[in-house]
Structure 1
Amino acid sequence: MHKNTRYFHQVASAIRRNNKIDALLINGRLIQNQARIKVVIREFYKDLYRQEYVFMIGFQEGMVKKIDGEEATAMKVMLSIEEIKMAVWDCESTKAPGNDGYNMNFIKKCWNEIGKKFAATIIMFFQSAKLPTDAKVISKVLVRKMRLVMPGLVGETQSAFVKGQKIHDKALIACETVQ
């Protein structure tokens, strides 16, 4: 038992010796004092990770424009059957069926037979604000309309609502950077 304890103590001591920094060469100068080595390493990392001055955008400068009258009018224009059809074709065909039991593939394949009635149901939602049908198509229609005005509404300091990015992308990048 005593031999095992001495053996592990020797291994731990050897590891400690191997992990110790005996000297550093900084700008052509050899530093061997342990206290000075700690200070030099600390200063190196302080300098490496110091916070640089970054121009801060004030509250007013970060504001984005509002939708102008022309854009607002365009957003209010009632949908056409063609716009609704394009929104249907934007939807994934094989996803789970909606409340009505049909998936988008069915609606696409049967568009010639049911398209006008389906579009009328979507238009009825925009007229009455009552949700009678598949919310996927309504959300796609809204997304297609909003794409026209979003570039002017999203400021440089915002990372959400940018095409091709997800709201959590910046948080993930920050976590990866910290690690």
Structure 2
Amino acid sequence: MNGLTDISALLLSRIRDVADYPEPGVMFKDITPLLADPEAFTALSDALAGIARSTGATKVVGLEARGFILGAPVAVRAGLGFIPVRKAGKLPGATLSQAYDLEYGSAEIEVHAEDLTRDDRVLVVDDVLATGGTAEASVQLIRRAGAEVAGLAVLMELGFLGGRARLEPALAGAPLEALLTI
């Protein structure tokens, strides 16, 4: 691999478009072929781990569900701890929660109360940045836990949905890195 251009081309070549999924008019970006390819998955994990190291992160947060698939190997590659952020009601024991609005209704995410401290710098990892609602809630949750947000890193950003503009105020100067922008 010779640089980000080669990695981007490799990653793009392993993402499959699925028309009309999950509903008519939507072009779904399926990353399962990328995950099935060891060369592409390793390149993705290494690129995101490089971002984790460059931000000075001490922990990686993965957002349910595909953020778990990406975040755990990124944490291992970067030599950091991995913290899952889950939908409400999925974690045993004491949790901190953060509600956020959806297009129709609301949702809530949680983290174990003891997993993040004021000594932590946390990189949020997810597969896709769309509208930014879940990512924004995770940033708020990390700060409520007393930790610092080191940044947000995603495989791909769906630029036409405006998630970056929504997140910039919440990130307060922390970097937002997307390996691909669609």
Structure 1 or 2: larger strand share? 2
Using structure 1 for the length normalisation, give the TM-score. Answer: 0.21
Larger Rg over CA atoms:
1
**Which structure dedicates a bigger proportion of its chain to helix?**
1
- The answer to which structure, 1 or 2, has the higher relative contact order (CA under 8 A, 6+ apart) is 1
Question: TM-score by structure 2 length?
Answer: 0.21
